[in-house]
Amino acid sequence: MQPTLSMREESKTIHALATPSLLLDRARLERNILRLAEHSRNLGVVLRPHMKTAKSIDVARQIFPGEPGPITVSTIAEAEYFAGHGFRDMTYAVGLSPASATRAMELCRRTGVDLKLLLDTVEQADALADVRALTGVTPSVFLELDCDDHRGGLKPDDPKLVEVADRVVAAGGKVAGVLAHAGESYGLSTPDSLVRAAQNERFATVRAAEVLRAHGHACPIVSLGSTPTAHFAENLEGVTEVRAGVYMFFDLVQHGVGVCAIDDIAISVLATVIGAKPEKGWVLVDAGWMALSRDRGTANQQLDQGYGVVCDETGRVFEDLIVCQASQEHGILAIRSGSGKTMPELPIGSRIRILPNHACAMAAQHDFYSVVNGESRKIDARWERIRGW
């Protein structure tokens, strides 16, 4: 027995982490990445993963172990970060403003990346003339489509679609293609409805591309995606690429939708027990909404998971044990009401893991991932995340 060595080994385990701390299970991450990569390949489309969930070059390298591939980003800060790590083909999938488009094209000029933008109005198209004049770069843009009344975008048969495309060209920009996001698929929960949502997303994008081509716009990229529809798509004829983000980590919302098993969820927050109220059936831990996020995405699903499902320190789920309340740095664990289960033994100082309602939101509360593997307590690596805009 060498105490020094043993302490050094101990320092590389989750026991040495201050809590709350964000864990990422490498085997689950790899499995999730492989699953959608294979499905996309089988459907004959390019996968353009959305880096808004992981915001980490290390996670991106798991997806692209060789050359950097095509990615989607949700902020210009992400684009700048991934450009700095050699990524060259990116889509900023948030509608442009004159200021963000200028900043994006300055990044292109400085680094040579191809950062495609998104728009759906004549005003945005007209603004490209100034952006081009200011930066000397020809903006390449997607027309945003609305396939399910979720948020922004134009319907495929809206006459404005062709008008906006024409104005992009008139302003000196390039039409890269059309882009849809079936955001309403997050509210579904049956395989049939998910297959239909994926079909609908395809119909809308392919139709819009046809309309634009009939009016002389080549529309080389036909892009769609959301984690649920990406996994339930059975036929993507006419589509060239699919986008998804949360699929890398998965979460309880996606489990509720029916896209993944609980065992696929790759991130969790490690927390320490700091108290109990046996008369109320409560155990208190040092992870509140600051560590878990305020996301309550399962609140309207069939099974409300509170602020997250509780597992033991090695990741095994305690059946029906959830975080029922959260304040800034406190979480309250309780057995789901109506369950016949009893509270497990969780003395002061013992540690648990909490699975996320929404992986993007939980991960955003942390600056790094401690990478673990299955039930091992060993930490493989520390992967940084970025944030800001």
At 160, is the secondary structure helix, strand, or coil? helix
DSSP string computed for 4-53:
HHHHHHHTTBGGGS-SSEEEEEHHHHHHHHHHHHHHHHHHT-EE--BTTT
Question: Which span sits near its own copies by CB under 8 A: 197-205, 228-236, 247-255, 288-296?
Answer: 288-296
Question: Which span sits near its own copies by CB under 8 A: 61-69, 135-143, 290-298, 315-323?
Answer: 290-298
Closest separation between CB of residue 237 and its own copies, Å?
Answer: 29
Closest CA to 36 of 206, 259, 361: 259
Residue 291 binds its own copies, judged by CB under 8 A: yes
Cα separations in angstroms, 236 against 48, 90, 118, 229: 14, 21, 22, 11
The tokens of 221 are what?
């990229």
Residue 239's CB is within 10 A of a number of other CB atoms, namely: 24
Q: Which is nearer to its own copies, 74 or 254 (CB)?
A: 74
Residue 244's CB is within 10 A of a number of other CB atoms, namely: 25
Question: Which span sits near its own copies by CB under 8 A: 71-79, 215-223, 225-233, 251-259?
Answer: 71-79
C-alpha 313/C-alpha 150 separation (Å) is 38
Among 1, 5, 18, 214, binds its own copies (CB under 8 A): 18
C-alpha 20/C-alpha 292 separation (Å) is 9
Task: Provide the mask over 318-357, with x wherever binding to its own copies is found by CB under 8 A and - wherever it is not.
Answer: -------x-xxxx-x--------------xxx--------
Contact 94, 118 (CB under 8 A): yes
Question: Which span sits near its own copies by CB under 8 A: 118-126, 198-206, 220-228, 259-267?
Answer: 118-126
Contact 93, 74 (CB under 8 A): yes
Q: Which is nearer to its own copies, 41 or 151 (CB)?
A: 151
C-alpha 124/C-alpha 268 separation (Å) is 40
Among 109, 277, 341, 378, binds its own copies (CB under 8 A): 277
Residue 241 binds its own copies, judged by CB under 8 A: no
Question: Which span sits near its own copies by CB under 8 A: 60-68, 117-125, 188-196, 218-226?
Answer: 117-125
Separation of CA 263 from chain center: 18
C-alpha 358/C-alpha 250 separation (Å) is 8
Residues 183-222 that bind its own copies (CB under 8 A): 183
Closest separation between CB of residue 295 and its own copies, Å?
Answer: 5
Closest CA to 177 of 136, 109, 122, 119: 119
C-alpha 281/C-alpha 334 separation (Å) is 6
Residue 20 binds its own copies, judged by CB under 8 A: yes
Residues 356-385 that bind its own copies (CB under 8 A): 360-361, 364-367
Among 147, 248, 267, 273, binds its own copies (CB under 8 A): 273
Residue 63's CB is within 10 A of a number of other CB atoms, namely: 20
Residues 158-187 that bind its own copies (CB under 8 A): 183
Residues 77-116 that bind its own copies (CB under 8 A): 94-100, 103
The residue ranges that bind its own copies (CB under 8 A) are: 18-21, 52, 74-76, 94-100, 103, 120-121, 123-124, 127, 144, 149, 151-152, 183, 272-277, 280, 284, 286, 289-291, 293-296, 325, 327-330, 332, 347-349, 360-361, 364-367, 387-389
